[in-house]
Structure 1
Amino acid sequence: MGRSDVRPSRSSPLAWGVLGLWLLVVVLALPLAGQLGESTEDEGVDYLPASAESTEVARLTELLPGGDTTDLLLVAQRPGGLTAEDRALVERRLERIDALFDVAAGDPAAAGVVSGDGGTALHPFSLGELGEEEQGQAVGEIRELIADPPQGLTLALGGPGALGVDAEAVFESIDVTLMLATAGIVAVLLVLTYRSPLLWLLPLFAVGVAAVAAMALVNGLVSWFDLTVTTMSSSIMTVLIFGAGTDYALLLVARYREELRRLPGAGEAMAAALRGCGPALLASSGTVSLGLLCLTFADLNSSSGLGPVGAVGVLCALAVMVTLLPALLVLLGRRVFWPLVPRHGESRATGRDTFFARLGSSISRRPVTVLVGGTLLLGALALGTFRLPGPLAEQDNFTETPASVRAMELVADAFPERSGQPIAVLADADHAQEVREAALATDGVAEAEAGREGGGWREIQVFATDPPESEGEQATVDALRERLAELPEAKALVGGPTAQTMDLADTASHDQRLVIPLVLTVVLLVLAVLLRALVAPLLLLAAVVASWGAAMGLGGLVFGPVLGFEGLDAQVPLLSFVFCVALGVDYGIFLMHRMREEALNGADTRTAALDALRTTGGVIASAGVVLAATFCVLAGMPMVVMAEMGFVVAVGVLLDTFLVRTYLVTSASWLLGRRVWWPGPLGRRPAAPGQRAAVDAVPAGAGPRGDAG
């Protein structure tokens, strides 16, 4: 071909218009996108079930006098017993704290609570109402005051206020780290995929535009509909935009490259590429978005808020990848692919020597062996779910233990006879004494102290005899709820960290029973409409559910024994299921849509299955690696819930990309033949005499060439 093959195509007014429109969107959206961080809410109540009893306690407690105080606990410990000098030092530090800060409750310089062996002393106190930034500064200054104690003496700051500050510090570190790490990984993978000094920049730029637009839209949803957006949901949105957006770009660019070899102009090649892969992209984004929107039916606040946030991210990624990216590619012409410029009229690599062609040939020779072997492997991996750890306690939700959690661990070790954190009970103020007496008479209760009063409610702090969030304390919570239910006039509510963990587990179980069938139904309907069949969608659904089960099983083998996680966050099973199914089925959509296209063009189903694997294998493998890599970034975040979910989704995507989609779906399609399209027209159409037949020989006993059935 001549030099005209590498010259940019004639500038398209439509392409320039699309580019200008998106630049205007970015200019308008940037200020709103920058405000999203201020709209995120990471209070404990934002991660609790909307209708749970413990959530109601948390809300009402904030309204009581002193509900906005910063509750802290200074812990002093020396093995072998605190000395007189230790006590004097602690008293001076506490007096300094009292002088510097507005101490709203508790006498910092009081003797405190001393353990039975005399080695540990607790000094609880509360600071007055402080803003989030002021609270962080106060905790930081107090930690500086108690730093560098004498050798052998340990001083630590704990309590809900310190734990909240440490959690907020973790949340603040997530956004920027996640964005930079995800962009870096995607950039490296795009360079390796395209092997071009320019082409990789276009999808990355488009993803950045999608991220800005999505953050601005989500910030608008917060203002217009009072949507709850947590750091976790905004982080997952970022991962989805980069992962799904890059996947869409890979599929579009691969098809565009094909069409550039077939057609002379960049504009007409792009139009053909959009016609060819557009339905698959729409079905893919629709599947993910609708699957995520099913989460709005969840009772857990953080899960229900994640649904629309994630859907906005995916739809913005789709909008950019089918408008802005095509415009950029058309304006730059063929030379954007340099040095591997696709030339009009050159043949593409369609021979049998390509990796996925050889893979398809091996599958066609032993389809039953491949299908049975792969299924058994997934089943074996899924057995690891029996090794999944129990519920994750609040203090264990960090991959690196913060100072406040270490302080509470000292308390738990020094006072094994009682819980170091109270079970919060709220009751009608007129019946508070009756409730306190009933609590004291409940098995497992060590103490019950009347607390603050306001708005007709009285707070009662109940201390269990068992350690925090242990099975024993959970039994005490159940017993309290049963006992206080016998006093309906008291309107007593039981909350606190342990009750929240229990309510989270119950709500997560309820949400799974509700949302999982809904997701499966929605995905099945989308697939049925796209593929005009029922068997193929059921096959794809079964495959992705199996890959999710195997990924959860691997999590059971890794979370505790390898990573040292103390529990499984209650949100992980449901959220990972939605992502594994909705995202994993994408690759089945790309494969099956191309397979159906080949069948409509005259190939029998078996030939279509092998052609689809050969033509889409490379791009889908690249897309799977990119998506898994973005979720691996999530797995590296400092919160256990993100690490666990990132691990499960990344492993699930890789299993779906390299095992389920490549081997199981292809071998099952080969064995089913045209029955895979039942009850659609392709499933009823007999093989025509001149129809292209399978190119690979089938061994004896494997069935005839061409369509089965």
Structure 2
Amino acid sequence: MPWLVLGLWVAVLAAVGPFAAKLADVQHDRVTDYLPASADSTQVAKIQEQLPGGQSTELVLVYHRDSGLTAADKATAERQVTTIAGQHTLNGTPQGIPSADGTTLMYPVASNEPGSDEDKRDALVDDVRHVAHSEGGLTVEVGGPGALNTDAAGVYNSLGGPLLYTTVAVVAVLLILIYRSPLLWLVPLVVAGIADYLSMGVAYGLNQAFGTSVSGQSSGVMTILVFGAGTDYALLLVARYREELRRIERPYDAMRAALRGCGPAVLASSGTVAAGLLCLLAADLNSSRGMGPLGTVGVLCALVAMLTLLPAILVLLGRRVFWPLVPAYGSTPKARRSLFSAMGTSAGRRPLAVLAGGAVLLGALALGAFNLPGSIKQEDSFVDKPESVAALQTLARGYPDRGSQPIDVITPADRADATLATVRGTQGVADARKGRTGNGWTEISVIAADAPQSAGETRTIKELRDDLKGSYVGGPSAQQIDLEDTNARDRLIVVPIVLASVLLILIALLRSLVAPLMLVAAVVAVWGAALGIGGLVFGPLLGFEGTDPGLGLLSFVFLVALGVDYGIFLLHRMREESIRGAEPVAAALSALRTTGGVIASAGLVLAATFAVLTNMGLVQLVELGFVIAVGVLLDTFLVRTYLVTSASVALGRRVWWPGRLSKAPEPLRPSERQPEPV
């Protein structure tokens, strides 16, 4: 049987291999991949792709000298811009706009050269940066939406290799420390790598069959989930297999018993994660909605690999895979007072006091969420400041009262003149000009009188949208407004769906209403506390100027879905002990003693895999990885070990209400009692 499983996996990988290699070909990090599906700014970006030349690549060349630009500086700028115009097809002739203090000169540049939007954008930005270089004390920077998008795409494109290698290295180190075996650590790691390869092929298939979007963010999270969740399942299975090898002689029979024992918990655990992630399909934000299917693919591929391939390999390797700590048949583990036994005893003595103390601590930490910085601006979204951000900052200093990036208005071609007149008459508009026309639409480029993403520019964008019925208003600043509005809407819709889905799965597994409600309340409290810690760290310690509008929703989905995992491991074992006749307190403490080490190991691995995101170059990824990693650690070492155990002890049999385990066993009838010894 194990050989048959291996053969099936070889066949599956042979079939999937050609598709897995193509996933990178369908990965895109276009503006529309990260925007709300129904927003004005998204419609603008889509229509711009259909106009002659496709979506515009808009840049700003910024020339600056602190002591004031000289005549030679201006001549250099003119020469460089002329060279760029000779090498590329630009929209009109770029005109220099000097700052009032004479220190800065900016040249807005736009191009609609043919070719793939991403490829032509990156090629244009690279070429412009090659030509427009600093010299003789004159600082030259290339900024604008096109340069920002190129720099962001560079970060996303770098996620694949470094993210995978770092994740594998982190998991490998932790498995070596956990298993203390020269061979055992390698088996789950190899199986997780195979699951990741399978997930890439399946993700490509979804893209081809259903058009599922694949971005650098979603594919990176998929890899993290494969290794993080997959290793968690492996830890639980290997721990149970080790137990059964002491009771059962043949490894094959011991593995069957292990799968029967922990299989339901692993299935329910993966089910909650998959259900939670699929709820993201209800989101309007394209990046969130695209993450749902890919994350689900990662979890399910990890599940299938860990419940089929991993058992087959372990059985074929036999007991020797555990060397030097081989679980001999008929042996008993060395009795020693474990940390989790001590923690369970302390929680069991005064459960209400422990519960109250934990609730106060989590509540106090959650207050830190009020210290989270506001929505992040484009220029603040990079950990290390690239050239495009430096250009934005130079523009902000040189033109404090002027817009430096366009607001794009798309209007029906037959109303273009009327729309242009309305735009020019709108308060806060400094300049407006007609652009391209095609497919029944006309593009109007608008420059606001106020700085980008300021309150004044935001007010201008909203007034344009109110006045221009039937037209669309987009551009970088409008996209930020739409992101904030859509994330607020998505939270109201997705959060209740996630909670309902997870509750239904828990109720079906635990056959109780009280236990599922207890687990869900615990993970929601953990989410609040993790966000609160983020509020105490992001601004004061890391110097971040803002938070991603999607942080609350994505961290909620991941922490609720993944956090419930450990509750399932603990309460499923507690339920097993109760079925065997253990009293509620004994069942709770026994479950913590037997699963505490596994849960701690799993939590460390999962937290470490998400912590890998904190080493990436975008603030949004750093914040997401930090909140999830901190939340998993809180859940592992505080909530599962202390609070859930204490609540189970305090509630007693009521934790299983209204199931049959909530009722005290009926006393034996006289005829069933054993005779008293003489």
Which residue of structure 2 aligns with residue 38 of structure 1?
Answer: 25
Q: Distance in 1 between matches of 2:43 and 2:128?
A: 32
Q: Counterpart of 1:38 in structure 2: which amino acid?
A: D
Is residue 614 of structure 2 the alignment partner of residue 614 of structure 1? Answer: no
Which residue of structure 2 aligns with residue 257 of structure 1?
Answer: 242
Q: Counterpart of 2:305 in structure 1: which amino acid?
A: V
Is residue 367 of structure 2 the alignment partner of residue 391 of structure 1? Answer: no
Which residue of structure 1 aligns with residue 92 of structure 2?
Answer: 106
Cα offset for 1:69?
4.4
Which residue of structure 1 aligns with residue 325 of structure 2?
Answer: 340
- Which of 63, 66, 70 in structure 2 is aligned with 1:79? 66
Contact 1:239-1:634 at 8 Å conserved across structures: no
Which residue of structure 1 aligns with residue 524 of structure 2?
Answer: 545
Q: Counterpart of 2:71 in structure 1: which amino acid?
A: A
Change (3 A) 1:133 1:461: closer
Change (3 A) 1:688 1:565: farther
Q: Distance in 1 between matches of 2:488 and 2:509?
A: 32
Cα offset for 1:134?
5.3
Q: Distance in 2 between matches of 1:687 and 1:273?
A: 31
Contact 1:534-1:679 at 8 Å conserved across structures: yes
- Which of 468, 471, 479 in structure 1 is aligned with 2:452? 468
Q: Distance in 1 between matches of 2:414 and 2:178?
A: 70
Contact 2:236-2:598 at 8 Å conserved across structures: yes
SS of equivalent residue, structure 2 residue 159: helix
Cα offset for 1:160?
2.5
> Where do 1:143-542 residues align within 5 Å?
143-151=129-137, 153-349=138-334, 353-485=337-469, 491-542=470-521
Contact 2:114-2:120 at 8 Å conserved across structures: no
Contact 2:237-2:262 at 8 Å conserved across structures: yes
Q: Distance in 2 between matches of 1:522 and 1:44?
A: 31
SS of equivalent residue, structure 1 residue 105: coil
Which residue of structure 2 aligns with residue 694 of structure 1?
Answer: none
Contact 1:422-1:462 at 8 Å conserved across structures: yes
- Which of 546, 550, 559 in structure 2 is aligned with 1:571? 550
- Which of 114, 130, 133 in structure 2 is aligned with 1:129? 114
SS of equivalent residue, structure 2 residue 90: strand
Q: TM-score, normalised by structure 2?
A: 0.96
Contact 2:64-2:140 at 8 Å conserved across structures: yes
Q: TM-score, normalised by structure 1?
A: 0.92
- Which of 645, 653, 672 in structure 1 is aligned with 2:651? 672
Bigger mean CA deviation after superposition, 242-251 or 434-443? 434-443
Change (3 A) 1:506 1:542: same
Q: Distance in 1 between matches of 2:455 and 2:531?
A: 24
Cα offset for 1:47?
0.7
Cα offset for 1:442?
2.3
Is residue 628 of structure 2 the alignment partner of residue 644 of structure 1? Answer: no
Contact 1:68-1:129 at 8 Å conserved across structures: no
Q: Distance in 2 between matches of 1:672 and 1:365?
A: 13
Cα offset for 1:394?
2.4
- Identity among equivalent positions (%) equals 56
Q: Distance in 2 between matches of 1:419 and 1:66?
A: 25
SS of equivalent residue, structure 1 residue 104: coil
Cα offset for 1:532?
0.7
Cα offset for 1:24?
2.2
Unaligned stretches of 5+ in structure 1? 1-13, 486-490, 691-709
Which residue of structure 2 aligns with residue 8 of structure 1?
Answer: none
Q: Counterpart of 2:88 in structure 1: which amino acid?
A: D
SS of equivalent residue, structure 1 residue 323: helix
Q: Distance in 2 between matches of 1:91 and 1:571?
A: 42
Q: Distance in 2 between matches of 1:497 and 1:94?
A: 24
Which residue of structure 2 aligns with residue 7 of structure 1?
Answer: none
Cα offset for 1:413?
1.7
Q: Distance in 2 between matches of 1:175 and 1:505?
A: 28
Is residue 7 of structure 2 the alignment partner of residue 16 of structure 1? Answer: no
Is residue 627 of structure 2 the alignment partner of residue 659 of structure 1? Answer: no
CA deviations on 1:189-219 (whole Å, 9 max, x unpaired) are: 0000000000011000100110011110000
Bigger mean CA deviation after superposition, 358-367 or 543-552? 358-367
Q: Counterpart of 1:313 in structure 2: which amino acid?
A: G
Which residue of structure 1 aligns with residue 673 of structure 2?
Answer: none
Change (3 A) 1:105 1:687: same
Contact 2:48-2:55 at 8 Å conserved across structures: no
Q: Distance in 1 between matches of 2:385 and 2:592?
A: 46
Q: Counterpart of 2:379 in structure 1: which amino acid?
A: Q
Which residue of structure 2 aligns with residue 140 of structure 1?
Answer: 126
Cα offset for 1:464?
1.9
Change (3 A) 1:69 1:468: closer
Bigger mean CA deviation after superposition, 501-510 or 611-620? 501-510
Cα offset for 1:165?
2.1
Change (3 A) 1:104 1:440: closer
Which residue of structure 2 aligns with residue 89 of structure 1?
Answer: 76
Change (3 A) 1:32 1:616: same
Which residue of structure 1 aligns with residue 676 of structure 2?
Answer: none
Q: Distance in 1 between matches of 2:589 and 2:576?
A: 13
Q: Counterpart of 2:464 in structure 1: which amino acid?
A: L
SS of equivalent residue, structure 1 residue 322: helix
Contact 2:59-2:108 at 8 Å conserved across structures: yes
CA deviations on 1:518-556 (whole Å, 9 max, x unpaired) are: 110110010011001000000000000000000011111
Is residue 567 of structure 2 the alignment partner of residue 580 of structure 1? Answer: no
| RMSD over equivalenced CA pairs, Å | 1.6
Q: Distance in 1 between matches of 2:82 and 2:429?
A: 33
- Which of 555, 559, 564 in structure 1 is aligned with 2:534? 555
Q: Counterpart of 2:378 in structure 1: which amino acid?
A: E
Bigger mean CA deviation after superposition, 161-170 or 658-667? 161-170
Contact 1:541-1:585 at 8 Å conserved across structures: yes
SS of equivalent residue, structure 1 residue 462: strand
Q: Distance in 2 between matches of 1:585 and 1:479?
A: 45
Cα offset for 1:455?
1.9
CA deviations on 1:44-75 (whole Å, 9 max, x unpaired) are: 11111111111111111222223344332211
SS of equivalent residue, structure 1 residue 412: helix
Q: Counterpart of 2:358 in structure 1: which amino acid?
A: G
Q: Distance in 2 between matches of 1:157 and 1:506?
A: 30
Cα offset for 1:450?
2.1
Q: Counterpart of 1:556 in structure 2: which amino acid?
A: G
Bigger mean CA deviation after superposition, 166-175 or 572-581? 166-175
Bigger mean CA deviation after superposition, 70-79 or 304-313? 70-79
SS of equivalent residue, structure 1 residue 659: helix
SS of equivalent residue, structure 1 residue 269: helix
SS of equivalent residue, structure 2 residue 67: coil
> Where do 1:584-603 residues align within 5 Å?
584-603=563-582
Q: Counterpart of 1:500 in structure 2: which amino acid?
A: Q
Cα offset for 1:164?
2.4
Q: Distance in 1 between matches of 2:667 and 2:173?
A: 47
Change (3 A) 1:648 1:529: same
Bigger mean CA deviation after superposition, 65-74 or 333-342? 65-74
CA deviations on 1:640-678 (whole Å, 9 max, x unpaired) are: 221111111111110000001110000000000000000
SS of equivalent residue, structure 1 residue 306: helix
